[in-house]
Structure 1
Amino acid sequence: MLEKKVTKYLKEHNLLQVGEKLLVGVSGGPDSLALLHFLQGTGSQFGYNIVVAHVDHMFRGEESYEDLLFVEKYCEEHSIVFEGTRINVNDYIDESGQSSQTAARTLRYRFYKEMMEKHGIQKLVLGHHGDDQIETILMRLTRGASGAARAGIPVKRPFEHGQIVRPFLAVEKQDILDYCGRHGLTPRLDPSNEKGSYSRNRFRLSVLPFLKRENIKAHEHFQRFSEELREDEELLLELTKSKMEGIWAKQSKLESAIHIKELMEMPNSLQRRAIQLILNYLYGENPESLTAKHTTQIKELFMNPDPSAELHFPKGLLVKKSYDFCMFSFLQTKPKTYYLKLEVPGETVLPNGYKIKAQYIKGSSCRNSNSTFLMPAHAASQPLIARTREDGDRMYLKGLHGSKKIKDIFINEKIPIEKRGTWPVVVDSSGEVLWVPSLRKSSREAENGDDQQIYIYLEYIKV
């Protein structure tokens, strides 16, 4: 039963203390409602003081507002302090350029932070469970994550001046649904969880059932893998940190330098982690688009026989090799021209601080704006290329007759001169201009999605 598993897990990991004040994130769905109900029950034994936080992201209009009212009513009936807010995440997406899921998470955790400060709370309790863990680990491995990121969701981690803890990682989704049934809970259900347009949903609907058929305890094995990998990673990082003093030649957030020879003399497993530590230091918090691929690129740069070479990384980081030194700098404001093959499916980071995310989809389950581009896969002359503007570039504009110079598009859209040199132009293998991200689309864009056809869907997103 869920109660025994979670109680044992709480003790093993020392997650909650007697009389502790807790902020519980509750969406109204089965996971978070079961978590709140469980904490209410154990709270009678351990004296937990609970505050509930709910965020309506306003993606589903009146339906998501009803989720907020549902959680508010539950808290009122059980004399629990409720803190709810409505945030128009779509407005933030347009402002930040983040994906819908990343933007929603950013704003949700910002609200959690505010509520912890308001109520003087040190622990944020969330309802992620064992199936979430499987999905997260597989998604990150598929994306090419490195280091501790491969371990998925941590049982507990620092958050602001406190911690996030996740007691339900010990159980699977079915345990939670059974718990809701036994206790007469009627959670709200989010229909977007069934949409195949979200990568997490595809793992949940297609991959998890297969794993559960292979081994009904798969979630337990993934959780053990997560915890062991995280422990191993912490030890290797400590070993790497002990050797970093001799590697730094100059250490500054804006401009740093290292001794290549000293780094390359370390064991291979420590070399990777040394590079990760350097990037962690420079970025503070790594962009989502930074993966194991970037670590590999830096190692290849070090092993390149040419004495001088450079790489352009997310958020304008220039990685430049010069003989026995490697410089890392955010001070470069004018990257050179580029010509990058788009990863389809995948993500391609551009030197201007943006990336192009490409995926194969069915139908029209996607955003439609100048920051997106949709075309039938069979009609795409691949590889697709993102490059800087070239003299004479023209594009046949969607909805208009004839072509227009890309230079004139920049002028009409009032793009500053300093940005035009790094603005991407997407072309196909024949050199035909398909799209100037965020500005204009060509007549090659599909008019409407057809559920019987496969499309290539491109998104231009700020890193």
Structure 2
Amino acid sequence: MRTEFFSPGTRLGVAVSGGADSVALLHSLGAVRPHLGLVLVVLHVHHGIRGAEADEDALFVEDLAHKAGLRFQCRRVNTPEYAREAGETMEEAARSLRYAWFDELLGQGELDAIATAHTMEDQAETVLLKLLRGAWTEGLAGIFPQLKRPRGLIVRPFLQTRRAEIRQWLRASGHVWREDGTNQDMAYARNKVRHHLLPVLEQYNPQIVPHLAQMAEMAREEELFWQAEMARLLPSLVLPGRPVRGGGRAQSTHPEERSVGMEMERLRALSPAVRRRVLRAAAQGLGLDPDFDQTELLLRMCDGRAGQRETLTAELTAERSARELRLIRSRARKGSPPEYEVAVPGEVEAPAFGLRLRVRISEGKGVENARPATLRAHKAGDRVLLRHTSGPKRMKEVLERMRVLPGERTDWPVLEWQGEIVWMKGAEVVSRAAEEAGLKVEVELR
């Protein structure tokens, strides 16, 4: 267990679910508390998911705290309701609610830090999940050993410890813990990685877990370097507004539009790796986060012709002049058709699009508590994968190939689910998320 995070007198909250890892963390910190001068408080979140089993977990953790002579705090939340309202998966919602409470506790000034029991396996699973979702290199940094929050720290003393070592120590020490049944539920992405993907990868390389953890450590160091490099470059390279005659720059007078510009001469002098970082950082400075394809389009514009204009998303446009590459963020146009939330499975009447849409899930796929889909007009920057095509295409290109008249393209309906376009009017869409869930879309035109 790493203890360099702590100094004498540190007021430390210990997040304890009742599972093996968090129970071991509590006992380990309790053992070193007198030597490190720690002030411990036991924290438990009742997520409102598993009924009586979750109640028993809370009582178990409270009993652990009392036996150790420690203060116990429990926060009860309704994770399923929050997941529906926020449009998050159960995993995402549970994490959001936990860390919101942690921030609240740190903000009250009674705690200096909160310790969680993430292990080396958790790190490896996180790196794989990020990789599968198409993370940039900063995403491969995974779980940070120490995370700065607005009013304190989140620390992970077990991040370099294997899960098997923890259980072996618990058994040898005579400590008991509780098993969470949801940890075996294959409806959760992390459980699929934990119980299926990692064991398969270990057949190819038994050291895959420590290797992924090492990659995360290297990625963190790389990201720290890039953060410092961007802090040095961006102030003089990414300039607000547009250039004006006589020198200087001017921002748009429209209250809902912001823009930045970068001089082409200086951009071209950068290596592709630095240029890519600068372009992404410029868009992020406008509050948007371009994906890989959008960033590559910006890179190509650096070598393109003056006068080129590209729409990356509904809110982000890029313009290329002889002198600059400009990024402009503006609110989506008014008067767009409404967006319709569609339960999965479920159906919706959408008069704005002149259709009724029904979503079904194949039997036996085990999709529970799925986030709703969204029926909406396509947005600039949307990409869709069609049957018999080599890769995702921009919606503009697809509608042109379908010979949809320009006046009809603006409000062309699509269905978005889990970050992918899973259906669009008039074309056969391919979606990995939809295929994994056995999702079927039926449409009746009105």
Same fold (TM over 0.5): yes
Secondary structure at the aligned position of 1:170 is classed as coil
TM-score by structure 2 length?
A: 0.72
Match of 1:278 among 278, 282, 298: 282
Structure 1 pair 299–101 and aligned structure 2 pair: CA distance change class (3 A): farther
Matched with 2:316 is 318
C-alpha separation in 1, matches of 2:393 and 2:270: 37
Matched with 2:438 is 455
Secondary structure at the aligned position of 2:286 is classed as helix
C-alpha separation in 2, matches of 1:92 and 1:328: 34
Matched with 1:258 is 261
C-alpha separation in 2, matches of 1:49 and 1:57: 26
Cα RMSD over matched residues? 3.7
Secondary structure at the aligned position of 1:278 is classed as helix
User: In 1, are the aligned partners of 2:127 and 2:140 still within 8 Å (CA)?
Assistant: yes
Match of 1:269 among 260, 273, 290: 273
Structure 1 pair 363–224 and aligned structure 2 pair: CA distance change class (3 A): closer
Match of 2:83 among 81, 93, 96: 93
- Pairing of 1:11-410 with structure 2 (within 5 A): 14-118=4-108, 120-250=110-240, 255-259=258-262, 261=264, 262-283=266-287, 291-305=291-305, 307-313=307-313, 317-323=315-321, 324-334=324-334, 362-367=364-369, 371=373, 382=387
User: In 2, are the aligned partners of 1:144 and 1:293 still within 8 Å (CA)?
Assistant: no
Once structures 1 and 2 are overlaid, which stretch shifts more, 191-200 or 211-220? Answer: 211-220
C-alpha separation in 2, matches of 1:99 and 1:42: 37
Structure 2: gaps of 5 or more residues:
242-250, 338-360, 376-385, 397-409, 417-421, 442-446
C-alpha separation in 2, matches of 1:107 and 1:151: 23
Secondary structure at the aligned position of 2:175 is classed as coil
User: In 1, are the aligned partners of 2:187 and 2:366 still within 8 Å (CA)?
Assistant: no
TM-fit CA distance, 1:15: 1.6
TM-fit CA distance, 1:170: 1.0
Matched letter for residue 229 of structure 1: A
Matched with 1:411 is none
TM-fit CA distance, 1:154: 1.1
TM-fit CA distance, 1:244: 1.7
Structure 1 pair 271–25 and aligned structure 2 pair: CA distance change class (3 A): same
User: In 2, are the aligned partners of 1:137 and 1:150 still within 8 Å (CA)?
Assistant: yes
Secondary structure at the aligned position of 1:169 is classed as coil
1:311-346 deviation digits (Å, cap 9, x = unpaired): 344xx5313224233223143444999xxxxxxxxx
1:53-103 deviation digits (Å, cap 9, x = unpaired): 111111222222221121112112211111111111222222222222222
What is the number of residues matched between the two proteins?
A: 368
C-alpha separation in 1, matches of 2:393 and 2:269: 37
User: In 2, are the aligned partners of 1:53 and 1:112 still within 8 Å (CA)?
Assistant: no
User: In 2, are the aligned partners of 1:56 and 1:86 still within 8 Å (CA)?
Assistant: yes
1:387-415 deviation digits (Å, cap 9, x = unpaired): 89xxxxxxxxxxxxxxxxxxxxxxxxxxx
Structure 1 pair 206–325 and aligned structure 2 pair: CA distance change class (3 A): same
Structure 1: gaps of 5 or more residues:
1-5, 338-358, 374-380, 389-419, 435-445, 459-463
Matched letter for residue 234 of structure 2: M
Structure 1 pair 25–454 and aligned structure 2 pair: CA distance change class (3 A): closer
Structure 1 pair 99–71 and aligned structure 2 pair: CA distance change class (3 A): same
Matched letter for residue 268 of structure 1: P
TM-fit CA distance, 1:306: 6.9
TM-fit CA distance, 1:180: 1.7
Matched letter for residue 368 of structure 2: C
Matched letter for residue 36 of structure 2: F
User: In 2, are the aligned partners of 1:260 and 1:302 still within 8 Å (CA)?
Assistant: no
Match of 1:431 among 422, 426, 435: 426
TM-fit CA distance, 1:265: 2.6
TM-score by structure 1 length?
A: 0.69
Matched letter for residue 276 of structure 1: R
Structure 1 pair 66–330 and aligned structure 2 pair: CA distance change class (3 A): farther
Secondary structure at the aligned position of 1:147 is classed as coil
1:148-199 deviation digits (Å, cap 9, x = unpaired): 2111111112112222111111111111111221222222211221122222
Once structures 1 and 2 are overlaid, which stretch shifts more, 199-208 or 113-122? Answer: 113-122
Structure 1 pair 144–368 and aligned structure 2 pair: CA distance change class (3 A): closer
TM-fit CA distance, 1:205: 1.0
Structure 1 pair 308–31 and aligned structure 2 pair: CA distance change class (3 A): same
Matched with 2:245 is none
User: In 1, are the aligned partners of 2:91 and 2:188 still within 8 Å (CA)?
Assistant: no
User: In 2, are the aligned partners of 1:237 and 1:273 still within 8 Å (CA)?
Assistant: no
Higher relative contact order (CA 8 A, sep 6+): 1
User: In 2, are the aligned partners of 1:126 and 1:166 still within 8 Å (CA)?
Assistant: yes
C-alpha separation in 2, matches of 1:75 and 1:430: 57
Matched with 2:354 is none
